[in-house]
Amino acid sequence: MTPTRPSATGTAVRTALLPNVPEAVMTDAVAHTTSTTTRIAVEQQPDCRIRIEVMDISSTESRPDRPEDTSEYGRGLLVVDALSSRWGVTRHQGGKPTWPNCDPYATADRNREYGVRST
């Protein structure tokens, strides 16, 4: 099956929601790690994808939660998973970046990948 471009409405909705991705990753790093230092970088790739990288110095792993329906918290990385075309965590000495890649033109059945990598 060949993916098709999403409708203009789907693209507009996805584009409107993309600002939630860096906020969700940064909130996860601040709220769920012991890191006292966090930084964020946002870069537009040549193919129009947007790469976001939030670096913290904690060894606490970033993973999506499955919150209770009535919980006010715990959905940040679920938002990242839903809106990014690819995301993961790269562990190395001194911390880890959590890095979603966002593609405003991705189709609903995009090839998503989540991974934790150690260097």
Q: Which residues contact 71 (CB under 8 A, 6 or more apart)?
A: none
Question: How many domains, the chain?
Answer: 1
Residue-wise pLDDT for 64-115, tens only, equals 778 888 887 778 888 888 888 889 898 888 888 999 988 877 654 444 444 5
Residue with structure tokens 């099956």? Answer: 1
| 3 domain-assigned | no
Residue-wise pLDDT for 53-78, tens only, equals 999 888 777 777 788 888 877 788 88
For position 91, which CATH number holds?
Answer: 3.30.565
Domain of 52? Answer: 8-118
| 2 domain-assigned | no
Its pTM stands at 0.70
Contact 34, 60 (CB under 8 A): yes
> Burial letters for 54-92: b for 16+ Cβ neighbours within 10 Å, e otherwise?
bbbebeeebebeeeeeeeeeebbbebbbebbbbbbbbee
Confidence grade of residue 119 (pLDDT, cut at 50, 70, 90)? very low
| 92 domain-assigned | yes
| 91 domain-assigned | yes
